[in-house]
């Protein structure tokens, strides 16, 4: 069998390698328009930030072998042709036209089965000055090499990152390690607009600003200034000096080759594929950043390019080229990113999406330590959990903090994949020992809180709802932390607030009016819930709890 693969980064070479294991005698050819192959693009920001010493490390196997064409020829008997552009697909004759980008030589390559893994390209806006030097989209090792060289030489001092998504935040963190003066511009109202709700994103906004990053949200870039190299970024709100600009505006699928061959393109603009990762032509498969996926939660088609997904696609395609029926189940839009020392993750859908899709849902926000507070290195994290109200099926989870967020995201992603409920999230027999987690893990605490909320035992409100209530003089905020905690930090804009420590509340509840609207507040929300239970037992009729406590307050605090 003749197998031809177009694209030699993640999905393409994974498919070719799996195909070789499934078909030892197959003739496998891979063509790639670039000169570099099989590189870990997701590691590029970490090379820029000097956490990875050399670009070659992103192109090596765990055993240290360079994944170059010679490696694939000698180890896997796969012919990899670099600097070769696929220019057309003739589905009737099963031939692909190609051109060598160095010599200009044209060729025609026959196939029995074809794999399209053409990836995606970074979005580059058509703005005045976009062609100036030192404006980069971090999508290729050459970009990373040029940026790091400039940082090492001290050439780049004023950096502007446009787009506060995954790549934008990773690049901000990388540039900050070099001591650069970094400004971030985000057109939407908060960071990570694609996968965080406003109150959770607010925690990241607050953290970034507190760490000397100039964050400008709700701002639109109009043009770039300079003679040959960029010197400034012009926005609708002013001029920002810049000798380095990073474009982190997302990517578009490279679906033009497939479209010109008459293959079906999905509603997202990416190549439509079946669960077997076949295109509309059964002899042509496609995977990686050029295809669309099914969201497991909603069942909708989405464009969600991720290196992890691309590698899964490649493995499945490699098996199915030889008649297997392996199916790709879909994605959850699970993401995780490190923002300086803050960990940010999400799986499933957000509350914004739940509203847009008319789910009957409920959410809760909790905060707590990632392991027992008495253990060295214990750190706080905030979790937001969303579930369907009637079925109690989990819809999504967001987690933020300097503690271990990845574990909690992965637990939730597992339950989501299996269609589980908040009860399942609590029931899972998770590994426990004090160095790793609390007896009831953070995700189980969030599940319990949401159960309490659904059953009417917890009358919780979000930080955003609480901030709105602060405008009402008839609402009393009852802070039940210790006097020392209360004196150390608190709300910046709350006039009607009173401090009664939790241990004194039963004795002093007569100081409060039973008809008042009271919002109980503490550090992470647990003492606030205890306070609400005490007051309700004393016949207070309107008591709420601010979920997540002061730790999860995304707005300014007084200290």
List, run by run, the mean pLDDT of 10-residue segments along the chain (559 residues).
96 97 97 94 95 94 94 96 98 98 97 98 96 94 96 96 97 96 96 96 96 96 97 97 97 98 98 98 98 97 96 98 96 97 98 97 97 96 98 98 97 97 97 96 97 96 95 94 94 91 96 93 96 95 96 90
| Residue 241 confidence (pLDDT) | 97
Q: Name the packing angle between helices 11-22 and 307-320 (round to 10°).
A: 30
Helical spans, DSSP H, in 129-195: 141-153, 166-177
- CATH of 2-41+49-121+252-320 given 3.40.50.2300, 3.50.80.10, 3.40.1350.10, 3.50.50.60: 3.50.50.60
| Residue 557 confidence (pLDDT) | 87
CATH class of 341-454: alpha beta
Residue 13 Cα distances to 6, 81, 313, 496, angstroms: 9, 12, 11, 62
CATH 3.50.50.60 in the chain: give the residue spans: 2-41+49-121+252-320, 135-249, 341-454
| Residue 492 confidence (pLDDT) | 87
**Could you give the 3-state DSSP secondary structure of residue 375?**
coil
| Residue 422 confidence (pLDDT) | 98
| Residue 558 confidence (pLDDT) | 81
Which two structure tokens, joined as six digits, stand for 425? 């999230």
CATH number of 135-249: 3.50.50.60
| Residue 194 confidence (pLDDT) | 93
Q: Is 509 a catalytic residue?
A: no
**Could you give the 3-state DSSP secondary structure of residue 184?**
strand
Residue 272 Cα distances to 94, 111, 261, 315, 359, angstroms: 20, 21, 13, 18, 26
CATH class of 460-558: alpha beta
304 with 334: CB under 8 angstroms? no
User: Of 42, 494, 533, 557, which is the active-site residue?
Assistant: 42
Sheet strands side by side (includes 460-461): 460-461, 543-546, 517-521, 475-479, 497-499
| Residue 294 confidence (pLDDT) | 97
Residues 16 and 71: their CA atoms lie apart, in Å, by 13
Nearest to 273 by CA among 249, 297, 289: 289
């Amino acid at each position: 069998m003749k197998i031809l693969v177009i694209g030699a980064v993640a999905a393409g070479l994974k498919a070719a390698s799996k195909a070789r294991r499934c078909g030892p005698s197959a003739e496998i050819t891979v063509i790639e328009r670039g000169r570099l192959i099989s590189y870990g693009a997701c590691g590029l920001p970490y090379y820029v930030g000097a956490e990875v010493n050399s670009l070659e490390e992103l192109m090596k196997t765990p055993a240290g072998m360079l994944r170059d064409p010679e490696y694939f020829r000698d180890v896997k008997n796969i012919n990899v042709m670099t600097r070769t552009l696929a220019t057309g697909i003739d589905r009737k004759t099963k031939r692909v036209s190609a051109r060598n980008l160095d010599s200009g030589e044209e060729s025609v390559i026959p196939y029995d089965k074809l794999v399209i893994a053409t990836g995606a390209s970074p979005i580059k806006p058509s703005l005045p000055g976009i062609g100036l030097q030192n404006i980069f989209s971090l999508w290729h090792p050459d970009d990373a090499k040029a940026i790091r060289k400039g940082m090492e030489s001290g050439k780049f001092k004023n950096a502007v990152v446009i787009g506060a998504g995954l790549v934008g935040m990773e690049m901000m963190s990388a540039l900050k390690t070099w001591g650069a003066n970094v400004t971030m511009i985000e057109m939407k109202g908060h960071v990570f607009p694609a996968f965080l709700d406003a109150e959770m994103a607010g925690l990241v906004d607050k953290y970034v600003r507190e760490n000397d990053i100039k964050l400008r949200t709700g701002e639109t870039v109009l043009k770039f200034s300079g003679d040959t190299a960029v010197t400034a970024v012009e926005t609708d709100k002013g001029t920002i000096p810049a000798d380095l600009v990073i474009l982190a505006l997302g990517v578009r699928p490279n679906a033009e080759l497939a479209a010109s061959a008459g293959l079906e393109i999905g509603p997202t603009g990416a190549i439509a594929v079946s669960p077997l990762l076949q295109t509309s032509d059964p002899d042509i498969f496609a995977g990686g950043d050029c295809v669309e996926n099914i969201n497991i939660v909603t069942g909708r088609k989405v464009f969600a390019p991720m290196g992890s997904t691309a590698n899964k696609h490649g493995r499945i395609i490699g098996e199915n080229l030889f008649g297997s029926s392996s199916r790709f189940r879909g994605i959850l839009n699970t993401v995780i990113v490190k923002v300086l020392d803050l960990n940010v993750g999400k799986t499933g859908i957000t509350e914004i999406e739940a509203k847009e899709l008319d789910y009957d849902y409920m959410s809760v926000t909790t905060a707590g330590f990632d392991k027992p507070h008495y253990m060295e290195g214990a750190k706080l994290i905030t979790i937001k959990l969303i579930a369907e109200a009637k079925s109690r099926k989990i819809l999504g989870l967001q987690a933020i903090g300097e503690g271990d967020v990845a574990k909690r995201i992965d637990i939730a992603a597992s339950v989501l994949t299996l269609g589980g409920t908040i009860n399942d999230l609590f029931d899972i027999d998770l590994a426990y020992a004090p160095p790793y987690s609390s007896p009831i893990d953070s995700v189980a605490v969030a599940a319990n809180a949401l159960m309490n909320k659904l059953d009417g035992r917890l009358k919780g409100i979000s930080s955003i709802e609480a901030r709105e209530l602060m405008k009402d003089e008839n609402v009393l905020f009852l802070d039940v932390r210790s006097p020392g905690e209360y004196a150390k930090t608190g709300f910046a804009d709350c006039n009607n607030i009173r401090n009664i420590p939790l241990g004194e509340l039963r004795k002093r509840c007569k100081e409060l009016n039973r008809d008042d609207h009271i919002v109980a507040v503490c550090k992470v929300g647990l003492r606030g819930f205890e306070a609400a239970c005490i007051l309700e037992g004393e016949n207070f009729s309107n008591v709420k709890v601010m979920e997540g406590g002061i730790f999860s307050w995304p707005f300014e605090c007084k200290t």
